Amino acid sequence: MHIIELICKKLRKGKSVYQIAEELEEDEFTIQAIVNIAEKYAPEYDVEKIVKDVLAPV
């Protein structure tokens, strides 16, 4: 998912959830949910693993 890749790039640059949401014109709640998962893979932010976690059934 392209948005996850973009979020990871911005996290690597030290951007906040608010900044990312504003720059990507997305809902802050959606960005926060993805960031919560992505933080498990910091500082590398392995996009493939994050996508799998985001798409994993609850």
Q: Are 24 and 6 in contact (CB under 8 A)?
A: yes
- Give pLDDT tens digits for 2-24: 999 999 999 999 999 999 999 99
Over its C-alpha atoms, the chain yields an Rg (Å, rounded) of: 10
How many Å is the maximal CA-CA distance in the chain? Answer: 30
Q: Dig out the tokens for 7 from the structure.
A: 């979020």
Q: What is the DSSP letter of 56?
A: S
pLDDT of residue 53: 95
Amino acid, res. 48: E
- Give pLDDT tens digits for 34-47: 999 999 999 999 99
pLDDT of residue 1: 84
